Amino acid sequence: MSRVAILGAGMAGLGAAYRARELGIAAVVYEKLDRPGGHTRSFAVDSGFVFDDGPHISFTRNERIQKLFAEAVNGEYEVLQASVNNHWRGHWIKHPAQCNLHGLPADLVAAVLRDFVHAQGRETEGIRDYETWLRAAYGDTFAETFPMEYGAKYHTLPAAGMGTDWLGPRLYRPELEEVLDGALSPATPDVHYVSHFRYPTRGGFESYLRPFVDQAKLELGREVVAIDPQAKRIVFAGGDEVGYERLVSSIPLPELIPRIAGTPDDVAAAAARLACTTCVLVNLGVDRADLSEHHWTYFYDRDFTVTRASFPHMFSPHNAPEGMGSIQAEVYFSARYRPLDQRPEELIEPVIGDFRRSGILRETDRVVFREARVVPFANVIFDHDRAPALDVVHGYLDDVGINYAGRYGLWGYQWTDESFVSGEEAIG
């Protein structure tokens, strides 16, 4: 019998375990994999490179979490001023593009400015369709050329198929003066929602979690196959069972709901409508460190395989051997909208080709390490099915007394600090 059973040992699960420990509540964390960390795992390879399970940085403004994470790595972290850019048809554009049009083709800049002027005063409050929101916020030309193109790659469906309840600060809405200044001058203020970020000096992003792992009562290799909320029992692969008084789950909802005994058909159908992306990470080690001046880059070009690239060796000097650099490319798919119908390894060469075409890789550069990893649950897709389906699923979990936390329990766009806090809040 566990007083509190916590399913999943990622940010949310370990946040729940931390809070339970603070309150003196006995809790056990059950993780199906053979190592903790969840979506924030880091991988050190024999050649000396460190890659995270997707690009992770800490830019929380929550001072309590800042302090907690700093103590977790004994104060050994890098503080970096974020530098972000975009690639579009051979042009390198400072991020966000709407404020940095200088140097783009004159006819495109003129069309963007014309449409942006016409869009002034348009109300976006209450718009529930992402394409309509983009056109209202930026005008047709910019919307069609940039965010609608990138969104189709990142979210795997057209903007018209998405809602707007995920936006938050992610898409900057400039004043007309900012757009005009950025069209006329190459020097503009930094207005990205990430200004500075922290990253552990050693061991990759996962280092932030290690003290919480050490403090938790953790059982690895414990895959949940059934939950009986009436009897308050969990069945694991192999047949072992445990009882619980309270249950907190960070298991992705489409995987959790089918494991709950007695789930009504309408709830099962709602869970099946929740969509997410699958990401293939192409990790590259290169025999040159000066690959980019930027920490990450967005690729708008539809004929480029890569959607976003980051440079882990720029997050910490210990993420790559001395004098070498590293690149992590993200390529997105989804079971519903863009199925992954090839072996992940087949994406490595096209991604390398993208980096050579863009100039990030020179013909003389030697790629000393290459791999492809699959992240089955990458990002929640905020399509029009999400909100009504989520209401049904969460309502059912509330009724049967199962608490939920984390990006895939809340089925939202939680950043790492938010996931940790959601785990704490699930304990109370």
Over residues 235-277, the pLDDT tens digits come to 999 999 999 999 999 999 999 999 999 999 999 999 999 999 9
Query: Going along 120-250, which residue ranges are E strands?
Result: 196-200, 218-219, 224-228, 233-236, 241-249
Sign of CA dihedral 196, 197, 198, 199: negative
- The pair of structure tokens assigned to 259 is 């494991």
Which run of H or of E encompasses 88? strand 84-88
Comparing CA positions, the residue from 42, 43, 41, 16 lying closest to residue 30 is: 16
> What pLDDT digit, counting tens, does each position of 94-147 carry?
999 999 999 999 999 999 999 999 999 888 888 999 999 999 999 999 999 999
> What pLDDT digit, counting tens, does each position of 61-84 carry?
999 999 999 999 999 999 999 999
- Alpha helix stretches (DSSP H) within 190-332: 210-215, 253-256, 265-272
* In contact, 305 and 290? CB cutoff 8 Å: no
Q: Is the peptide bond before 96 cis (omega within 30 degrees of 0)?
A: yes
> What pLDDT digit, counting tens, does each position of 274-313 carry?
999 999 999 999 999 999 999 999 999 999 999 999 999 9
Indicate whether 53 pLDDT > 60: yes
Q: State the angle between helix axes of 11-22 and 416-427 in degrees (0 to 180), rounded to the nearest 10.
A: 40
> What pLDDT digit, counting tens, does each position of 395-412 carry?
999 999 999 999 999 999
Cα(1)–Cα(232) distance, integer angstroms? 10
pLDDT score of 123: 86
Work out the mean pLDDT of the chain and round it to a whole number.
Answer: 96
| Domain annotation for the chain: domains and CATH numbers | 2-34+220-271+383-427 (3.50.50.60), 96-184 (no CATH), 278-375 (3.90.660.20)
Tell me, yes or no, if the pTM score tops 0.75.
yes
pLDDT score of 170: 86
* In contact, 148 and 134? CB cutoff 8 Å: yes
